[in-house]
Each structure stands twice: as C-alpha cells, then as structure tokens.
Amino acid sequence: TETHREIALVEHPERPIPLEHYYVTQGKLHLVRDAAGRRRAMFPREGPTESPHPADVIRELRQAELLPAIWFAFSRRNVEEAAQLCALSAPKPHGEQRAAIESAIAWTLDILPEEDRGLPQLSMLVSLLRRGVGFHHAGLLPPLKELAERLFSQNLLSVICATDTLAVGINMPARTVVISSMDRPFGGTLTPNDFSQLTGRSGRRGIDKRGAVVMLPSRHYAFEEEYRKVCSPLTPIMSTFALRYSTLLSAMEGGDERLANVVRASLRQFQMRASARRAQDEIETLRVELGGDRNVDEDEIRDYLLLQANLSDMEKEQKRARRARSKSNARGAAGRRYDRAREERTRLSALLKEHPAHGRTQALEREDPERVALLRAVNRLSVQIERDRLECDQEAVETAAAVRTVLTRLGYVSKRGLTRKALGLREIVAPAGIVLSEMYTRGAFDDLDAAEMAEAISWFANDQDRRRFNRFRLDRRLYAIHQDAEEVFSRVSRAEEDEGINLAQGPSRWFHGVAYAWCTGASVEEIASRVALGEGDIVSVLNKTVDLLDQFEGMLAQHSDAHLLMVVAEAKRLLVRGLVAMVRSGDRIAEPSTA
C-alpha cells in the first residue's frame, strides 16, 4: 500500500480441513489434539527416547486408516532409507492399481534418454513404486520426481518419503503427514512456521473430513517441550530482498533520488519501518483516550513537553560530561564536552521559561497529571517515528550513494551518465553479473571454445556454498581463468566493502568440471560418480548455466561481439541435450494412452 496503492488484505484463519495431532510412543498411536483444537493426551514424564521403526509406524497408520501419508525427513539419505523401510509394511498395490503403476513406469522409461535408464536412483525408485512407496528430493532427476508426484496424486501410492522442499510449491496433499523428527540435520529444531508449512500438506479437499499430522519421539529431545515450541504463534516472514546491479543501473537513469526510491520500495525497508507503524497505531489509541478539550491547546503543550524532555536529556548529558571531565584534563575534549552541555542546558532552560504554555502546562500537571502523561507518551512515540523513518531513509540514500561510487570506480558511470559497460551489465540479472562483466572487459573469455565457455559460466551458476567432494580437475588453461575470476571477484568485493555494501557473487570454489564433461559427451551417471551431487542437482545446475549464458549473450549483444556470440550459441547447443533438453523444453510425463 505504501509503495503502490491501497491493498485489501483477505485472511482466512480457519483450515479448510480440520487437523488432528498424533504422537507415536511405545508402539502405539495416540491422539494429542483433536480436530477442534482440544488437548486429548499429554506426555509430561516422557523424556528423550528412541524413534520407532518406520515399518511399525506405517503399520499403525494403516490400521487407523490414516494412509496415504507423506513421510518428511530432512536429508536425502534419510528420505531414501525411510522409503525402503516403510515399504516393509506398506500395502502392496494389486490389480488395476498395480497395472497403472507399471504403465506409468514404462512410459517414463520410454521418454528417458537411453544412457540414463541404468541410473541407480531409477532402479531403486522403480522397485519401491511397485511396492506402493515413493521418494522425492532435489537430487532426483526431474522425470522421476514427476513420476512419483503423479502416482501419489492419483492415489496409487500409500507412502511417499520426501524432504521439506515437497512442502513448498507442489500441490500434492495426503491424508496424513508424518514428521519423522523435530531436529534438523545441521542444527536447530523446527520452527512454528516450518511445522505449519509441513502440516499444510495434510488433508485432501473433497476426500478427507480431517487431516492428520503424526509426530515421532527422538533421543535428542522430549516431546512435550518441542511440541509446545512448534505450536507457538507463527513468526514474521522476513524479507531476503537482494539488490542487483542490473536493477540499480536502470534506476540510475532517473538520478540518485530514483535510485534511493528503489531501495525504499523494497519489502525489507517496509519491515524496517515496522516499529514506526506500531508507534503510529499507539498514538491513534492515545488520541482516543485523550479525547478533545477546547480549553487546552494540546499542540502547544506537546511542544512545551518536548522542550522539557530535551532539557532533561541535556541535564543528564551535563552530569555525564562532568564525570568524564573529572577523570581527565579539564581543558581537553571532556572539558569542551561539558562546556557545550552546560551552554545547551542554559539555552533550553531559558526557552522553557519563555514558552507561552509554561504556566498553563504546570497548572495542567497539577489538575490532570494523567492527561499530561498521555501527551508525553504521544511525544515519545512521535520522536520514535521520526527517528525510525530517518534511519530507513538514510540507509536508502547511503546505499544509493555507495552503489554509484562502486559503479563509478569500476567505469560503469561517468560524468556524462552510464557507459557502454553499464548497458552490457544491465542485461545480467544474476548476482555474478558485475564479475562476469569485469572478466569480459579484461578479455578473459576471448580465446575460449564453446565447451570452455560453458564451463567458465557454470562456476557462477551454482549457488551452494557448502564444499563438496569433487574429483574433476581443470586443465591449466581453465585453472588460470578460474584464478582470474577469483581475482576479479576479490577486486569488486574490496570496492563494495569500502562503501559498506555486498552485492556481487564470485565463482564457486569447489564446483568445476561438470559443464565441460557434459559438453564433451559425459553422461549424468559418469558425472555423478566424480562429484558429490545428486543426478537431479547436476541437471539443475546445467540448466542454470544455460540461463546464465542467455543473460551473458544479452551483454555481448550490447558490445556487438559477434565472435563470442557464436561461441555462446554453440556452448548452449552442447549443454542442451538429453535430460537438460527435456527439462528446458517443458516436456512432462503425459498420461499413457489407453486406446
């Protein structure tokens, strides 16, 4: 509303399908909270305990008619292991259900490139699907993820084990959600927001009268303590807004004020102003309490009270300055600080006595001290609002100035406006854009062939910071370019650091060799055997490399670089084959023909 126009917020606090909470302990399923929100069982004496075997949990759910279920785990390894264990007691598909599963599997195998039909994850998934169980995580190849999603959505599977990414963006509800652990593998426990997101998959509209969430014990925590945490009120979703040089360059054509407005209009800035909005709401409440009194000029009295508050602050400052002066040279900085405070106190004291509301305010304090207290509260909140707004505005102005300084220092902005370099950088929306632009200016890409170009760009397409095992080695030529990329990123980072901003992204320090291997004919299976990435991750980062090449191509067009434009076109052709081509074409696993 602050940025664009008045917006109507529509809220629906009630769940379309009521949710029941269950807990499994001592081999039994217990109702913890019913669909009406009433607590039905508590486990105050139960401390940390071993988690039950997944097969036993599925057996309990089957007897309670709580299948199909999504079993959430928080690592890919745990997901695949859970799927294998759940299959031990999951209902086996028979008849038409079995035939439909076989038909879908056959259809998927037919559309997969022949070289990818022998992947270990494929044989594992197919084996489990035939037993009515699937698994789903980001390391799974896109056609296999889609196969598992479709079979589960058609009610052909009784259990699907998945990481929490399944809870976001995929319309795949279940009768029940099983949260295998309240612990996350890299530390911390589930938040109320996490719990709400996961349980949101429970309950199928038009099918289930109630949804269910099943929680399991753990030797790492006591159930009641963690259950109380996840049932707490939701925490605000904070903005992860990140500035991009491409966006800022477009705004700079309108001058520094427009550039600052781009920052001001972000959700992050809106959230920074939250305390000011709360203070404004409090002021409105206080104004209602104050009512109106025609015999009292409240603005004049508030002005007097604000002056009074400033005098009080200055009296405190003078005391602090006196103590500091007593511990040091009276003629030094501490002495000068005391003199300034004493002079300001004298000035404010005189203004207070001369103020037209001086007598009336003192009389009002005697007659109606509560009203004066309310007016003082309004003053404090008004000062807070102004301070918050100034801080946000100052950040926006400082960020805009910092961006202009960095871009000027690197040759993207001159006294006459945006340079040709800037027009090229504007085409790259990725955070690595300015590093790629600087590398291009230095001629780093001039002598690369298509496979080498794809490889160099791929270093900026991988957004995973955690280092992983990688047996690929760069040849001397590509290694030198990688070193150059690191040096360029370091130079850009220093320029940003000097101005207090952090926008650029450098090359991955561990991800290399994958794109070059793919462009020179390696299969997904061969690449996966040499780098610690799932097959789905490999396809994903190759696809992101093509996207980044598209942006890089836009920059080259601004520079009219015909040679590198041909190299980039060939690099994309080498990348877009097999599973990458299937993903980019938008192919989906269609329903097998029943004709």
Instruction: Provide the β-strand partners of residue 23.
Output: 30, 215
pLDDT at 491: 94
- How far is the first Cα of the chain from the last one, in angstroms, to the nearest whole number? 54
Q: Which residues of 264-294 are buried (b: 16+ CB within 10 A; e: fewer)?
A: bebebbbbbbeebeebeebbeeeeeebeeee
In angstroms, the CA 82 to CA 70 distance is 11
Task: Calculate mean pLDDT across residues 318-341.
Answer: 77
pLDDT of residue 594: 40
Q: What is the value of pTM for the model shown?
A: 0.74
Measured between alpha carbons, how far is 509 from 492 in angstroms, rounded to an integer? 17
Q: From residue 552, how far is each of 247, 435, 453, 564, 589 by CA, in Å?
A: 16, 11, 11, 10, 32
The confidence band for 485, taking pLDDT boundaries of 50, 70 and 90, is: very high
C-alpha distances in Å from residue 270, one per residue of 233, 277, 400: 22, 10, 17
CB 163 within 8 A of CB 136: yes
- By C-alpha distance, which of 542, 354, 348, 583 is closest to 457? 542
Residues 122, 525: Cα–Cα separation, whole Å = 11
Phi-psi region of 65 (alpha: psi -120 to 50; beta: other; left: phi over 0): left
Using alpha carbons only, give the angle 216, 220, 221 rounded to the nearest 5 degrees: 70
- For residue 590, what pLDDT is reported? 46
pLDDT above 90: residue 80: yes
| Cβ neighbours of residue 467 closer than 8 Å, sequence gap 6 or more | 509, 510
Q: What's the pLDDT at 593?
A: 45
The answer on pLDDT for 221 being more than 80 is yes
Q: Which residues pair with 30 in a beta bridge?
A: 23
- Percentage of the chain beyond pLDDT 90 is 52
Asked if pLDDT for residue 378 goes beyond 80, the answer is no
pLDDT for 68 equals: 96
Q: So what's the pLDDT on residue 438?
A: 96
pLDDT of the residue at 359: 65
Distance (Å, whole) CA 536 – CA 148? 14
Q: Does 592 score more than 90 pLDDT?
A: no
Q: pLDDT category, 187, cuts 50, 70, 90?
A: low
pLDDT, residue 294, reads 46
| pLDDT tens, residue by residue, 100-143 | 999 999 999 998 888 888 888 999 999 999 999 999 998 899 89
The structure tokens 């994850």 sit at: 121
Is residue 284 scored above 50 in pLDDT? Answer: yes
What's the rounded Cα separation, in Å, for the pair 132 and 157?
A: 4
Mean pLDDT (the chain) is 85
Concatenate the DSSP letters of all residues of 455-478 into one string: HHHHTTT----S---B-----HHH
Instruction: Flag whether pLDDT at 295 surpasses 50.
Output: no
pLDDT of residue 188: 73
Structure tokens belonging to residue 309: 């508050």
Q: How confident is the model at residue 87 (pLDDT cuts 50, 70, 90)?
A: very high
**Average pLDDT of the segment spanning 355-364:** 67
Cis peptide, bond prior to residue 48, ω within 30 of zero: no
**Collapsed DSSP state (helix, strand, coil) of residue 549:** helix
Q: Please give the Cα distance from 497 to 246 (Å, whole number).
A: 19
Model confidence band, residue 272 (pLDDT cutoffs 50, 70, 90): low
Lowest mean pLDDT, pick from 418-422, 500-504, 567-571: 500-504
Q: CA 4 to CA 15: how far, in whole Å?
A: 31
Rounded distance between C-alpha atoms, residue 140 and residue 128, angstroms: 14
Mean pLDDT of 282-293: 65
Residue that wins the pLDDT comparison between 228 and 380: 228
- Higher pLDDT among residues 213 and 330, named by residue: 213
Banded model confidence at residue 330, pLDDT cuts 50, 70, 90: low
